[in-house]
Every structure is written in structure tokens, then in C-alpha cells.
Amino acid sequence: MQTVSATGRGVTAVEVATRYVDAWNRHEPAAIVAAFASGGTYSDPAAGTLSGESIGAYASGLFESFEDLRFDIVGAATTAAGDVVVEWVMRGTNSGPLFGAPPTGGTLALPGVDVITLDGDLIRSVQGYFDQKTFVEQAGLQAVIMPREIGPFTFGVAVYASRDQKTAPGAFSITSIEARGEEEVAQIDNLSFEIVSELLETPGFLSFAGVTVGLRGLTITAWESEEDAGRLRRQQPHKAAMAKFFGSEWASGGFTSVWVPERINALWQRCAACDAPVNAHTANGVCGCGAVLPVPPPYLLGRDA
């Protein structure tokens, strides 16, 4: 199939589609947008349906997330209706923020297809197809399927970080913050990542657990002592977060607090040899059956499975 360009030169439909893919591979959002006719639309499982400058903004976001992004064309052909079907493999390494998460270094080799409808030598629509779960997992993220709400229960996501210290916590700092929208949730999550990354090098820090449910975030940080918990206030990322909260940039509300435990009961671990629970404080690394016990886990929330 041949189309007629604005200059009168005949170009094939496959050439138009290839020129469009080349604009993506050159990382030129303006050229991508220019490939579309007025009112043209772009759709894929992650973006929804976009038009005009929104297409370029979406492309720019992907280039920020994957600095080496490219599409290798596997094949391209026209249909009986005159559409162009382009089979491609999307390749790249996650080197920038993606879906509000910090870069993972995950590598893409994601197969997909674009069905491209033309208007002369411009594009009327692009309908992209790829497996969104595979995209997320190859990028180094988790694809967790869960409901938002069931009756009184609301579901969300959690993160945990630990220095693997075996010391019993002497204090917990607890923070709750209510965002005003999904964009704020992503901003708070990113700054929380910076705070915890610095905490991992802070004396007295033991472990951190963060939970995000809807627009609400809750963090629990374990410290060796109440005095150590005060170090958080002197940390630069935490100061930046507090400045945003007490300014006009973040949140509809929230609170911070420090809790000192009344008592911490024994840390129990199960012996792999006899299946009995053993008091890690008094066992000295050996079960009553004579078997050597594994190293006990940290106190707060244990380790990832």
C-alpha cells in the first residue's frame, strides 16, 4: 500500500510506520507527536489513550525511566484494511524512576505489537499491545494483584529495610501522613526511600517498615534507644520532608511520635531438627535436642521470605 505525502512523494504504509518507530529510537518526543495527524491517538495497556502533546509527554517519561530505550522491529506488514501491523521487541534498562519507584536496573526484552492506522502519510491511531505484567516484572518491580477494598478492609503495599542487627529495639518512631492525591503519594514514597537509605548508615537505627494504603502512609522505625530516635530529626532528607509538610506542598494531615516499649518478650525460633520453638535468648545457639540453631532473625517484622 502506498500513501501520498504532503510533498506529493509516494511512500509505503510500512515506511510511514518505520519512520514513526525511528522517532522513538532517536528519543525525539516532538518527532513522535509530529508523526500523528491532527486528533490522532495513541493507546497501550500502560498509557491508556493519549493525543497531541500528551503522547510526547508519555514518551519523555519512558525515556527518563529507560535512558537506552529502543524498539527492534521484528516484522511489519499491511492488512487488507490498509492498517500496518508492526511486531517489535522493546529493550532497555530501568535507570530512572518508574511508577513512582526508584530505578531497579531491571532489563527489558518485551515483545509487543502496534496496529497503526494511517491518514495519508500521517498516523490516525496507534493501538499498542504488550503484556503489562511482564513489563512490570522485567523492569524489576512486583506485579501484585489485590482488591482495593473488601468491606471494612483496605489493601495496599509495604516495604521493609533492616541493618540485620540482633539488638532488641529500645524505641520506635511512628509516622502517619495522609496525601492529597496519587501524585503526592509517589512524591512521599520517593523521599521516604531517600530517608531510609540514609538511615541504613545511621548509628542506632535497626529497621524500618512502611505501609501505603490508598492515600495514607504509615512508617514504623526501630531504634536501639529513645535517644537514637532523635537522630531522625537531624537527618537532611527528613528535614526536607518536614519543610514540605509544614509548608504548602504536602498532605492533608499527619503526625509523628516516639514509643518506648513496656517490655519485649522472648524472641522465639523453631529448631529445624526437632521442630520445637526455642528461646533464642537462653539457647546460646543450640537447641535442647543438640542441634545447632540458625542465626535468629531481627526483631522487627523478620526478613523477607
**Domain containing residue 130: CATH number:** 3.10.450.50
pLDDT computed for residue 299 by the predictor? 64
Distance CA 297, CA 274 (A): 19
Q: 3 pLDDT exceeds 60?
A: no
pLDDT at residue 73 above 60? yes
Residue 214 Cα distances to 93, 123, 148, 236, angstroms: 29, 38, 8, 27
Residue 295 or 5, more confident = 295
- pLDDT confidence of 4, banded at 50, 70, 90? very low
Phi (first) and psi of residue 215, to 5 degrees: -100, 5
Residues 188 and 281 grouped into a single domain: no
**24 and 120 share a domain?**
yes
Domain closes at, from 92, 108, 138? 138
Q: Are residues 100 and 131 in the same domain?
A: yes
Query: 72 and 174: one domain?
Result: no
pLDDT at 96 over 80: yes
Residue 144 lies in a domain: no
- Domain assignment of residue 269, yes or no: yes
Domain boundary among 100, 116, 138: 138
d(CA 271, CA 15): 67
32 and 154 co-located in one domain: no
Residue 143: inside a domain, yes or no?
A: no
Q: Answer yes or no: do 191 and 254 share one domain.
A: yes
Residue 174 has pLDDT above 90, yes or no: yes
- Say whether both 11 and 34 belong to one domain: yes
* Residues 167 and 236 reside in one and the same domain: yes
Provide the pLDDT for residue 182: 84
Q: Mean pLDDT score of the chain, rounded to an integer? A: 89
Among 51-65, 132-146, 249-263, 287-301, the range scoring the smallest mean pLDDT is: 287-301
State whether 81 and 30 are in the same domain. Answer: yes
- Of residues 109 and 3, more confidence is placed in 109
Examine the fold and report which residue of 110, 138, 166 is the final residue of a domain before the chain moves on.
Answer: 138
Asked whether residue 106 is domain-assigned, the answer is yes
The three cell numbers of residue 225 are 534507644
Higher pLDDT, 169 or 23: 23
How far apart are alpha carbons 45 and 147 in whole angstroms? 19
Distance between CA atoms of 118 and 124, rounded to whole angstroms?
Answer: 5
- Counted domains in the chain: 3
The enclosing domain of 237 has a CATH number of: 3.30.70.100
Q: What is the mean pLDDT of residues 240-264?
A: 88
Residue type, 179: A
Q: Give the domain range for residue 280.
A: 265-305
In a domain, 89, yes or no: yes
pLDDT band of 303, cuts 50, 70, 90: very low
Q: Is residue 245 part of a domain?
A: yes
DSSP the chain: -EEE-TTS-EEEHHHHHHHHHHHHHTT-HHHHHHTEEEEEEEEETTTEEEETHHHHHHHHHHHHH-TT-EEEEEEEEE-TTS-EEEEEEEEEE--S-BTTBPP---EEEEEEEEEEEEETTEEEEEEEEE-HHHHHHHTT-------SEETTEE--EEEEEE----PPPSEEEEEEEE-SSHHHHHHHHHHHHHHHHHHTTSTTEEEEEEEEETTEEEEEEEESSHHHHGGGGG-HHHHHHHHHHHTTSS-SEEEEEEE--S-----EEE-TTT--EEEHHHHTTB-TTSPBPPPPPPSSS----
- Same domain for 163 and 36: no
Most confident of 52-61, 152-161, 269-278: 52-61
Residue 44 is assigned to a structural domain of this protein: yes
Confidence band of 192 (pLDDT split at 50, 70, 90): confident
32, 107: one domain: yes
Same domain, 176 and 197: yes
Could you tell me if residue 275 is inside a domain?
yes
Q: How far apart are CA 108 and CA 129, in angstroms?
A: 15
